[in-house]
Amino acid sequence: MTGCIVCIGECMVELSPQGAAGQYGLGFAGDTMNTAWYLRQMLPAGWQVDYLTAVGTDALSDQMLAHLDAGGIGTDHVLRRADRTVGLYMIQLTDGERSFAYWRGQSAARTLAQDPDVLDAALAGADLAYVSGITLAILPPDDSARLIDRLSVWRKAGGKVVLDSNLRPRLWEDTDQMTKAVMAAAAVSDIVLPSFDDEATWFGDATPAATAQRYTAAGASQVIVKNGSGPLLALADGQTHTLPPDPVPSVIDTTAAGDSFNAGYLAVRLTGGTVVQGLTTAAALAAHVIQIRGALTTLDAATRASLIG
């Protein structure tokens, strides 16, 4: 079983704290790019994982594309903008929990959905498209609507859409705009991967089950509710599954915890695994990732095998 996945969003320069106080390491990351990175590592070699974004034509953008290429992520659909460059974020850690400072106002990625023909070309060869609430948030409203429209057309032709709601109110004009856009994307999605804490805050959901039911009512056939240290909940094809949390021995940096979880779940499901197998692998991968600094790590063969079980 093989196929092609296109992840859509923004890859940024990442500054992550290193061992000594005040020292930072430079890398490249971003929510949908993190998921692409771990999908490429968790899926068999025959799968294609592509990334759709926009970058500049400067040396830093060149380094970013070289990083994606080295990670086995396809860059044929990356747009180049001579008048822009890539965004940057800095990770700040307190007892392993991360917060971010961003510099992305003129990021080239904000222009990725200007041309419907570009979107259609990127989707044409894919079996599954992966987007997030952050993808929608960084785009001008008309471009965000255009992306949702092209995903809807492509889905009607047989494609599958996956959405991580990834609610980040600071990126939106107001929370009403955010919730409406996310639910518009959910209406054209087959799988939704929300985080309960955010959904409870911004949608008022009382329980993870309420979150799952809201996205199922919007049209998703699978909803996987991440729940921090609480039990995971999946509502898939009318069946409810739960998975209690396993203790994590140490938490170094929670950056990309949810992004890697999504990759682990999708990799198992796309290769024929069950919902419960997907949840188990996803939780194990996320637990592994939060024990390293920064968003991305490279999995050796033994680690990958242990995660897949």
Kindly list the catalytic residues: 259
The tokens for 11 are 């890859």
Task: For 75-111, give the DSSP string.
Answer: -TT-EE-TT-B--EEEEEEETTEEEEEEE-TTBGGGG
What H or E segment, with its residue span, contains residue 239? strand 239-243
Instruction: Report the alpha-carbon distance of residue 94 to residue 281 in Å, rounded.
Output: 27
The residue among 280, 254, 250, 256 whose CA lies nearest residue 268 is 280
Instruction: Report the alpha-carbon distance of residue 223 to residue 237 in Å, rounded.
Output: 9
126: amino acid identity, one letter: A
What H or E segment, with its residue span, contains residue 129? strand 128-132
The residue among 85, 55, 89, 84 whose CA lies nearest residue 69 is 55
Instruction: Report the alpha-carbon distance of residue 273 to residue 30 in Å, rounded.
Output: 27
